[in-house]
Amino acid sequence: MTRINGFIGRRNFFKLAGTSGLAIAATTVGGSLITSKPKTAIADVSPANLHSVNPNQALKLLLAGNQRFMQQKRQYPHQSLARLQLVAKAQYPFAAILGCADSRVPAEIIFDQGLGDLFVVRVAGNVASDIAIGSLEYTTAVLGTQLIVVLGHKNCGAVVAAMKNQPLPGRIGYVVEGIKPALTGLNSTDAVIANVQYQVDKLQKTSTILGQLMQAGKLNIIGACYDIDTGKVIMIT
């Protein structure tokens, strides 16, 4: 399988995509992200992933890392020069995180992971926008990631702004528009969780690629909430 810095060639991507419908749906992802004419053949330095991590294993790794973080026992794994040089050749992130851009919720720190471990998409309110979904389709269908965690957090300013339902300057309104549908009739305590569940549902139901990977047993999408007071991540779906 031809890989270019962790990217699979277009032909192989469509093979991975499986059905023609899925391949058509994936055209934009393939066209914009995948180099069709590699300058060098790197099959020799980029072996196929022999250690793919299934969704349950991936979740255990994340929760174990979060435990280490909470207990101030971080191992800072996979941050050596050797690791940097290894993942420069190819990346196989074992989990993807759709998290909030909030400065207090950095995925690699709170899950105690390193280079090449996590494919992280961060945007205010962990909103599953088209671009976020496209990024997650890429890491699951092309890089082989089998777990997506939508990670909300306590005291999320984007969720609070969406609840206030007031005019916002510039393009901040785009963020809250992606959250509002989740919040109908809710109090603030439940809003963060409702938003996570809404974004999980959106990923599962609006992406053909993610949906087919789930049906094939090659992907799980779950929701979680991070407590910015304690550092603890709790599964909510």
For Zn ion, the closer CB: 4 or 175: 175
Shortest distance, CB of residue 192 to Zn ion, whole angstroms?
8
Rounded Cα distance, 150 and 200, in Å: 6
User: 86 or 101, CB closer to Zn ion?
Assistant: 101
The nearest distance, CB 123 to Zn ion, in angstroms, is: 9
Edge-first strand listing for the sheet containing 233-235: 118-122, 95-99, 147-153, 220-226, 233-235
**Residue closer to Zn ion, measured from CB, 53 or 150:** 150
Any bridge partners for residue 222, and if so which?
149
Q: How far is CA 41 from CA 11, 50, 82, 113, in A?
A: 15, 20, 22, 30
Pairing of β 118-122 and β 7-8: unpaired
How far CA 186 is from CA of 115, 150, 162, 183, in Å, comes to: 39, 20, 12, 6
Residue type present at position 27? T
> Nearer to Zn ion by C-beta: 87 or 158?
158
CB of 159 to Zn ion, least distance (A): 7
- Nearest distance from residue 68's CB to Zn ion, in Å? 23
194 Cβ contact partners less than 8 Å away, ≥ 6 residues apart: 182, 183, 186
| Number of helices and strands in the chain (H, E) | 11, 7
Q: How far is the CB of 2 from Zn ion (least distance, A)?
A: 39
Residues that bind Zn ion (CB under 5 A): 100, 102, 156, 158
Closer CB to Zn ion, 102 or 117, in the complex: 102
In whole angstroms, how close is the CB of 102 to Zn ion at the nearest point?
4
Name the residue nearer to Zn ion (CB basis): 162 or 219.
162
Furthest C-alpha separation in the chain: 57
C-beta separation of 130 from 29 below 8 A: no
